[in-house]
Structure 1
Amino acid sequence: MTAPSTPGGAVDLLDPALATDPYAAYGRLREQAPTTTVTMMGSPPAVLVTRYDDVRAVLTDPRFVTDPALAGGPDTRENIMARMGVPDDVADYLLRNILTVDGAEHTRLRTLVSRAFTVRRVAALRPRVEEITSALLDRVAAAGAGGAPVDLVEALAYPLPITVICELVGVPEADRAQWHEWGEVLTTMDRERTGPALRAAIAHVHALVDARRAELADDLISALVAAQGDDGDRLSDRELVTMVFAIVMAGHETTAHLLANATLALLGDPAGLAALRADPAGWPGAVNELMRARGPVQFTQFRYPTVDVEVGGTVLAAGTPVIAGLLPANHDPRAFDRPEVLDLARETGRGEGHLGFGQGAHYCLGAALARQEGEVALRMLFERFPGLHLAVPAAEVVWLPRPGFSRVAALPVRVG
């Protein structure tokens, strides 16, 4: 199969061929050339970088920014927002937040929330993560009694991370199912529902902030409201709302897909799973390998060079939209021995040994929390249900064609 392309020769990142087998398709692109011209949702041509060293360079080089205004180029994201049906009055909540700003502005925003996601603070959350997981597994056991199939996406993969991040941020329990629905609308790009969902989510966050101004609680929203009260110049109302919105969305969607993808991969590796059962100390390393080999994020948001930069032998002019390919980089044979093999005991050396959480200034704020949720949920799932197996053949598990994400529609299993 050749690389999918548009009439102009650019590879279409929404082509079904990429969604059907992204590992093979992105692998072909990586081996054909270090960079590839791509397009997505009618955007102007961009450059996809696919090899590990080049991707890492793009993510860590301060000459690459996420704000196109700093690079003097057009904002290629506007076309995508329009195609998604994002109304102008709320587009800024997506286009300008902690994930999309750079330099001193990004440092200021990240500093305000980073204390909630330190390794120490996340470690303190472990008992609560275990408690939530245990309760969810009780429900899985009840639903799967008598051999009935259970969808682990809806029974475990989504409810665990959304419960954890909402408790941390301060979203009431009664509202969490609504966040799941809003997340689905945005990730599936349902044009008719995008505008109403975004407006409802933003209004909801405004209401939560107003409630904390009236009475503080022990949560991240309260901490941000208090910081704003101490010094209003540190955080505007709009920044506060966009911060909460971005953290809740990013804090559950990607982790949910990691849990589902990882469970499917583990069910296909009985020898590796048996080794983990025999030595549970191997789970942290296994989660790193699962994030490398089956991570949910295929590529990053656009980056823009502020000056002409050479990447993979190609000179990228200032302002050129660039996409860092995390999936092809994490399967690059130049960086990994037998990258196509899921090796749960793979030695990573220093660090994680993958780019699944990104690198550089925009390294995933919640990486430590996602790793912990992965370790806890997967270990407890397979300890609780040693006979866990797919309820359908692996080839019948449906992968959804979502731009930039590897995710399954459902993961039907039987618990014994």
Structure 2
Amino acid sequence: MDFSLSSSLLELQQRTRDFIAREVMPYERDERNTAHGPSESLRAELVEKARAAGLLTPHASPDMGGLGLDHVAKAIVFEEAGYSPLGPVAMNIHAPDEGNIHLMEAVATEAQKERWLRPLAAGRIRSCFAMTEPAPGAGADPSMLATTATRDGDHYVINGTKWFITGALGASFAIIMAKMEDGSATMFLSDMDRPGIRLERLMDSLDSCFTGGHGVLTFENLRVPAGDVLGEIGKGFRYAQVRLAPARLTHCMRWLGQARRAHDVALAYARERQAFGKALGEHEGVGFMLADNEIDLLNARLHIWHTAWLLDQGGRGNIESSLAKVSCSEAEWRVVDRCVQILGGRGVTGESIVMRIFKDMRAFRIYDGPSEVHRWSIARKLMAPRRGDAS
């Protein structure tokens, strides 16, 4: 494995870094940052800046207007984008659109790509991914899927409730996971303005980095034409893995940028702030926290790069992405938590970007599977009998 970066990738890394610093970070105190994420007008303004810089939707294929980045290249670019909470929004690589673009490029028909994917990749519209349900429906255990889809002539009729649906407010279309009559799962595409879809409410949440917030959706006799099935009937769970394994990793990439930003802020403060006769960072209690941050940041980056490399070699990366999700989410959380401690009062107020990063990042240990579920999945795979094991 050679993790040296090509000259072209180093140039793209620097170009992204400069774009975030010059064009995106000045908007972090814009009044259009709301409790439910950046407003649509703010998102649109930032998207146009990324388009002008040639950095919009870089993970999409060139045919869809992107740069066709492989997973290692995404690791470099997404970390730089994540240095600002608004960077992924500006570059159209935020959840859930980033994962939906990846899934639809792999699974959608040409007609579906032209109708939904192309404007999504162009940043003209947003989408949502409707899978999670309130109890007793699907959460960490997707087999508990309760939303149903029943064939009726040339349509499927969908009924059920979803919640924690990121980006639901203002999304143009949804990818809906529903259970078929035989118990299998299927994904459906639907415009959000169809009769039978209702946004019940937005949920209050710690994070405020996703345009459209997190919503509760009700599907009541929603009629979806058979031509709007995404992929094949009954293969919804298989397609979910096409989406989720890389999406776990891109979360790690973006949040690594946020953790690095928090560390940079805390380090600058520790150099400047005087306490008990010397710079704060010269006290072992603070200095050791800064050292631990460097260790966690490097470990997270190497874990991301290694998993990205495996995916680029054609591996499925299911267990590796679970390993990375647990390791990186917890390491990056430790970094930000230490930064709050180093900053003291400044760290728990809006005087610093670190408070916002802290609030946004806590949910990362739950998104795309809580750490406990990934540990359980990893342990189950470790315990499975292997060919050649001694009896």
TM range (shorter): under 0.3
Structure with a larger share of its residues in helix: 1
Q: TM-score, normalised by structure 1?
A: 0.27
Structure with a larger share of its residues in strand: 2
> Per chain length, whose mean CA-contact separation is higher, i.e. which structure has more relative contact order (CA < 8 Å, sep 6+)?
1
Q: TM-score, normalised by structure 2?
A: 0.28
